[in-house]
Amino acid sequence: MDLSMPIPSAAPSASLAIDGQRLWQRLMALARIGATPKGGVCRLALTDLDRQGRELFMRWACELGCTVRVDAIGNLFARRAGVDDTLPAVATGSHIDTQPTGGKFDGNYGVLAGLEVLATLNDAGIRTRAPLEVCVWTNEEGSRFVPVMMGSGVYAGAFSLEHALAATDRDGVSVRDALRAIGHAGDAPAAVADGAPRFGAYFEAHIEQGPVLENAGVTIGAVTGALGQRWYDVTVTGMEAHAGPTPMPLRRDALLVAAGLVQRVHAIALAEQPHGRGTVGCLDVFPNSRNVIPGRVRLTVDFRHADDAGLARMDAALRDAAREAARGGITVDVNPVVDFPPQPFDAELVEWVRQGARRAGLSCIDVVSGAGHDAVYVARTAPTAMIFVPCKDGISHNEIEDAKPEHLAAGANVLLHAMLARAGVA
């Protein structure tokens, strides 16, 4: 524990609650910027629509009496002063960029839940000992620019500011130029290593993007950590030949071998329950002609697991599978491309999320995040936890993404009490 943090003072009144309707109205107002005909949102990072969304956030933050700083990768930080402004801020937030066919809640909810917490404290006349901040992280989705979770990744030092600024979209526009074009190339340092302030704690509220809470009939997920991820490109090479004259025993069919690997990836994950995940999401078949035996197949493998040992077992099993598959003139090449370690969240903060749910009379279970979030990077620099609320049928990254107003309000109340507990009521 960071000894510079304030000791939480007496718990604020349990009756203190956010205004669910105001939160919902802000969500709907932000969703109008880039609204799609099917009810979703298309607001890609650093476009003019993103600028409009950012400016709406900044206007709301200023109306709440916050100061806003913009850093060199375009992250926004709305700050509500604490009684002791030398204390590290207790922060929350998420992102407001979306997928091209994204929804209204992914990311936006975490940002606007943060503003709702500040509005609630203003209404109740509550001052906190530590300052509070609401963050908007740049390009979390990674749809226009890679790497994903760009703003929080730079902040935490996962990659350099220069690397991020040089990334280009499909039209060759760089992050650097896109930031300048929308006026959000700020002058505050972007990375903790370059002097960006470290938070005393970071909480992120987010829709679950999976079906666990809804299936369990539970309102709050106390997120204990995020699964680690290992991604691979696998290439199976055989020999193209005519589908008619080549007898079955003499074929070197790369797709047949790849099909076996798809099954093995599934089996490898099944052997690592409850947290193991294994997915083959892409399959490129060459030459992809109906009367040619496939000579080469490229497939992607995405493994996830809650701990490093599990990921190491999955890695070894994939390499065994590749070795066994490589015979009879077939070669299998396994190339690792991404390695995100599992990220446990801070045990004390997770406990405050559980307590916040209990205090508000809400059902709560522990869950792990299977997806990446800004919080996963921020957790490298400060004690961090996440609050999940259910989304309809577990669907997100889709225009039909939906969440119940009462669930969104419930998560924001948990966020309120967790932030207050950490920041201390003056």
The residues of the shown chain that bind Zn ion, judged by CB under 5 A, are 106-107
Shortest Å distance, C-beta 340 to Zn ion: 15
Shortest Å distance, C-beta 374 to Zn ion: 8
What sign does the dihedral 153-159-160-161 (CA atoms) show?
A: negative
CA distance 219 to 364: 6
CA distance 125 to 65: 13
Residue 270 structure tokens:
């099944």
- Strand, helix or coil at 325? helix
φ, ψ (nearest 5 deg) of residue 113 = -60, -40
CA distance 255 to 261: 10
Q: Which residues have CB under 8 Å from 219's CB, separation 6+?
A: 213, 357, 362, 363, 364, 389, 390, 407, 410, 411
Q: Which residues have CB under 8 Å from 37's CB, separation 6+?
A: none
| Nearest by Cα to 321 from 231, 236, 261, 266 | 261
- Strand, helix or coil at 65? coil
Shortest Å distance, C-beta 231 to Zn ion: 19
Which residues, listed in sequence order, are joined to residue 22 by a DSSP beta bridge? none
Instruction: State which residue, 199 or 388, has the beta carbon closest to Zn ion.
Output: 388
Instruction: State which residue, 208 or 272, has the beta carbon closest to Zn ion.
Output: 208
Instruction: State which residue, 111 or 192, has the beta carbon closest to Zn ion.
Output: 111
Amino acid at 304: R
Shortest Å distance, C-beta 150 to Zn ion: 13
Shortest Å distance, C-beta 18 to Zn ion: 20
Shortest Å distance, C-beta 136 to Zn ion: 12
Shortest Å distance, C-beta 242 to Zn ion: 49
CA distance 380 to 152: 10
Residue 345 structure tokens:
């969240």
Shortest Å distance, C-beta 98 to Zn ion: 9
> Residue number with the shortest CB distance to Zn ion?
107
Residue 290 structure tokens:
């109906």
Q: Which residues have CB under 8 Å from 196's CB, separation 6+?
A: 71, 155, 188, 189, 190
Instruction: State which residue, 106 or 208, has the beta carbon closest to Zn ion.
Output: 106
Shortest Å distance, C-beta 61 to Zn ion: 20
| Nearest by Cα to 276 from 308, 303, 315, 313 | 303
Which residues, listed in sequence order, are joined to residue 94 by a DSSP beta bridge? 136
Instruction: State which residue, 207 or 218, has the beta carbon closest to Zn ion.
Output: 207
